[in-house]
Structure 1
Amino acid sequence: MYSDIVILRGLLQGPRHGYEIKKYIARIDGGLLNNNTLYPALRRFEQRGEVEKVAEEVSPGRPPRKVYRLTAQGRARLLSLLAVADPLVLMKEEEFQVRVGLFDLVEPEVRRRIVEARRDCVEHSLALQEELLPGSQAHPWGMRVLRFNIERHRLELAWLDELEAALEETPHDPTGDPTGNPTGNAAG
């Protein structure tokens, strides 16, 4: 789901050609998404009517480049993916973080469900890690890993507290569009 979300988000602010989408995503994931993921996803979105592909002239004598545009159906698909609060999905940090990064696009209740589901995952994982700690004394390197993970979970729980507080303070933009444009078609 993560790659679908970031690809569709890459088109939210306007049409882009594949390389532009890839550069946008690289700023998010450090360049992990490759052409073997991007272009099949774009074809799949196009087949489902979520993305339209048009040929754009670059310069005389050069072949046109393909430009992708998000459709209303694609925007609905993005919002649907963002609303997933399945704990099995949200166990993955990137799945949770991409949703939080796009909270401005979803309803407050969806935001709350996502944060609550992630909190449940982190609390469960923390409890399991803490149970292992007493038996790890004979394994000093393993104990270091456990302590690191326990601290990381505690830090994330504090961050989740901050997110929950921010949810109470942040109004929802009814257009669901960070640009404030009710059509969702901002210039990019």
Structure 2
Amino acid sequence: MKRRDFNKLLLAGMALPGISFMREGMAYAQTPNGGLTSLLAPEPPTLMLPLNQQQPTIVAGAKIFESLLDYDFDLSPRPQLAESWEISEDGLTYTFHLVRNAKWHDGVPFTAHDVVFSCSQMLIELHPRARVSFERCESIDAADDHTVVFKLKAPFAPFIYAFETVSAPIAPRHIYEGTDYKNNPANDHPIGTGLLRPPPFPPG
């Protein structure tokens, strides 16, 4: 057997367990009313997405939490918790105007202060991917209850892609500020903003 063929066989053998795990670890079934039931294995260790970014947690947690933006199949930003945004000509200032009808699952209104807390404190400490993005900021401020301003230390064009749910899940400030994030009792019953509002864009 030629070395090239042996290497191909070796790589194929290494890939098979991963493929098998993916098939056994996740199963979907459509329900009669059009919903989708998902079986995740292993069981997610937590549904608190800001704390844990393992795949089972991502699949379930991304339905509980949201971020400022979503992205279409062409990676064009579209609204989620932010309904509109502007980027300054010098590429240093990103201003997000937030939706006004979002509430946390406990009924408390979602505001810009939740975004500031999440991006400048909680995620910096807990989320490796978010830390890389938000450590680029000179400041993260709430101009008012529905406007957040990110000012970068230097222009960074990919910054607009930092705001999808897995990369920057927004957490409720009134639940987590001043607490031990990893041992907060709310981790057992995550409080997000997901699934409370119709999407601001056509499905599909």
TM range (shorter): under 0.3
Which structure is higher in helix share? 1
Q: What TM-score do you get using the length of structure 2 for normalisation?
A: 0.23
Which structure is higher in strand share? 2
Q: What TM-score do you get using the length of structure 1 for normalisation?
A: 0.24
